[in-house]
Chain A
Amino acid sequence: MSETEALESMVGGEYKYGFTTDVEYEDFPKGINEDIIREISRRKDEPEWVLEFRLEAFEKWKQMEEPDWPNVEYEKPNFDEIQYYSSTKKKDGKKPESLDEVDDQILETYEKLGIPLEEQKQLQGVAVDAVFDSESIFTTFKEKLAEAGVIFCSISEAIQDHPELVKEYMGSVVPKGDNFYAALNSAVFSDGSFVYVPEDTVCPMDLSTYFRINNMQSGQFERTLIICEDNSHVSYLEGCTAPMYQENQLHAAVVELVALEDAEIKYSTIQNWYSGDEEGQGGIFNFVTKRGHCRGDNSKISWTQVETGSAITWKYPSVIMQGDGSIGEFFSVAVTNNRQQADTGTKMIHVGKDTKSTIISKGISAGESDNSYRGLVKISPRAENAQNYSVCDSMLIGQTCGAHTFPYIESANPTAKVEHEASTSRVGEDQIFYLQQRGMDEDDAISLIVNGFCKEVLQELPMEFAVEADKLLGIKLEGSVG
């Protein structure tokens, strides 16, 4: 299977990732308390400092309240009913060393998702870490990456094999008590990816993680940590899907990026979690904290996201530009349809001199959905000549959806230059009729209009992803004009 075909099958058709894999899980009690956290840590055979990290986070979390400022409405999850750790039964109780030891059902699942893990079928040019519920199942191309000095493994493995790196960086960008869901994640985080790119290294291939939630009762609390040393470069992609269940499931992730001097991290997401049915039944609650820290001078962190799934999305990938001359970028397409609700945007925090940030946000709402952009641009007193340029465009399809923009600008330095542009447009019958008259059917017409609207963001995606993201948008909005 070629890469393009694989990605095509990943996004093609209606929500076709809604299937369930029938695997046997280890017993794990529901609910959250100190014993549960100790048990997670014990099962993962973690060193004491990780357990302490978890317990401290749990103490903070208990003092915190679930935020209600986002422009979304949902029934708050019952935290005692969630299973915080979900691990499939292993042949000998250990993480598989080779693919032969991975459960066939799980291999089949990834094959169906278009991410084959077997060596002869692997996607070329992309290393994949496959995360199934709470565990990383397998990571491809590890050896090849190791030759270049790049570490790409699950965070659990990194804790075992590279504790000094994890200890230094984990929680350094998103502190364990940062916010309600970040604190929860810090207490119960399961798996996720770890990337370390040494000095003067361009990572030889794109890295990607494919997240799959399968277990109906469990939440997914993954944690990703990417560190780019001086003058190094990495491009990382993540994809996400989940089965269709009547119940909502919680996904509360933390992603931390650290870029040192002259380093560059490009982080792309195609989020296609199950978004619930037309009546708003089921779907994933996607409450995620993603933050990048441009720690070194002239470093650069770029977030590109195409958000199409989830019942509720609550997500603000941010960049703290501490190093002088560092750059933060945020390119986002957020699509909501049916009863989906999204409150998403970014925070650009300018600390260093001559820092520059760009925000391009494209929100598309259809059906009865609500789509909000929320963004903060903050210029600290010593951020001389900081510059920000923001564009927030909203597109409405139909009469029953909503689009909202909440831009916040705080500037404490008079030399800063902040520009903000916003627009709202509606896909009109006239536009569709025009394109139909030129021979396109209604769905192709909408696809073309939406694609044009999102162009500046889609062109930031790695090529194959861009083509597929384009298709995904089309599928997502099929039949949305009555």
Chain B
Amino acid sequence: MLEIKDLHVCVEEDGTEILKGVNLTINEGEVHAIMGPNGSGKSTLSKVVAGHEAYEVTQGDILFEGESILELEADERAHLGLFLAFQYPVEVPGVTNKNLLRQAYNTIAQEQGREELDPLQFEDYAKEKLDLIKMKPEFIERSVNAGFSGGEKKRNEIFQMAVLDPKISFLDETDSGLDIDALKTVANGINQIADDDNAVVMVTHYQRILDYITPDHVHVMIDGEIAKSGDKDLAIKLEEQGYDWLIEPATASVNGEQQ
């Protein structure tokens, strides 16, 4: 479904290279986890796939269902069924969750040639999805993320994912800042959304969320490259041993705490 080929990316403003040749293939029905220390480029990778303008692709390609998406704007990529759950969800005061999502849902539906929903149909549809993250119906009447707690913001991202029903979702540190109950709820929601026709890529620091969502593939990103790939056992090993055994001595010092 998504194929990332030898992807090199730098920050547009100052030319700092962040991704240095990433290769990754994600198929339908798969759950991937991308792990790695701070500053290794995990978050950048998901933003670049989503089409963030602050980054420039200097080499390589990103193919979605066989077609390059590098020339597409962020909204056009969303129309294809690409979703990013933000690490820091943005507040939009005065715009209700319901309004934002209905507009988003209908825009995407229109682009994909699916039926649009009127406000009443949408409300019913959205309320079903609320159960996935165990939120009350009032949640959709609140302004997008405005005054939300950290945990509510993360839940809201997963709620939006459920509503928009994307083909592939990048979840950027969705687990950080969640207490254990919230983590279980969110993980449970993600498990229900994931099926044979879509794919989920979790970007995370910790193995914790992987106790609840079992990845098919685990990748470790070090200094802008995928240093190692494996199955869920790799995540467990990382939890026990940290990243040091994967970092070559020459790059270890550079990598310290870049964020």
Contact = CB atoms under 8 A, between A and B. Distances in A.
Interface of A: 428-431, 433-442, 444, 448-449, 451-456
Contacts of A453: 93-94
9 contacts: A431-B90, A433-B74, A435-B92, A436-B74, A439-B79, A439-B164, A444-B107, A448-B100, A452-B95
Is the interface on chain B under 10, 10 to 19, 20 to 34, or 35 or more residues?
Answer: 35 or more
A398 to B, nearest CB: 15
B183 interface: no
A453 B94 CA distance: 6
Interface string B91-109: 1111100011101110110
B90 A452 contact: no
Contacts of B51: 436-437
Contacts, number: 79
B94 A431 contact: no
> Of residues A428, A440, A452, A454, which shows the largest number of chain B Cβ atoms within 10 Å of its Cβ?
A452
A431 B50 contact: no
Contact of A439 (B75, B92, B99): B75
Interface of B: 50-54, 73-75, 77-79, 83-84, 86, 88-95, 99-101, 103-105, 107-108, 111, 143-144, 160, 164
A388 B77 CA distance: 48
Contacts of B99: 448
Contact of B103 (A428, A437, A444): A444
A437 B78 contact: yes
Contacts of A436: 51, 73-75, 78
A452 B52 contact: no
A439 B107 contact: yes
Contact of A452 (B86, B93, B164): B93
A431 to B, nearest CB: 5
Contacts of A439: 75, 78-79, 104-105, 107-108, 111, 164
B53 A429 contact: yes
Contacts of A455: 94-95
A208 B92 CA distance: 34
> Of residues B74, B105, B108, B160, which shows the largest number of chain A Cβ atoms within 10 Å of its Cβ?
B74
Contact of A434 (B89, B94, B101): B89
Contact of A429 (B54, B94, B101, B103): B54
A433 B103 contact: no
Closest 6 CB pairs of A and B: A452-B94, A452-B95, A436-B74, A438-B104, A434-B90, A455-B94
Contacts of B79: 439
B143 A452 contact: yes
A455 B92 CA distance: 12
A438 B160 contact: yes
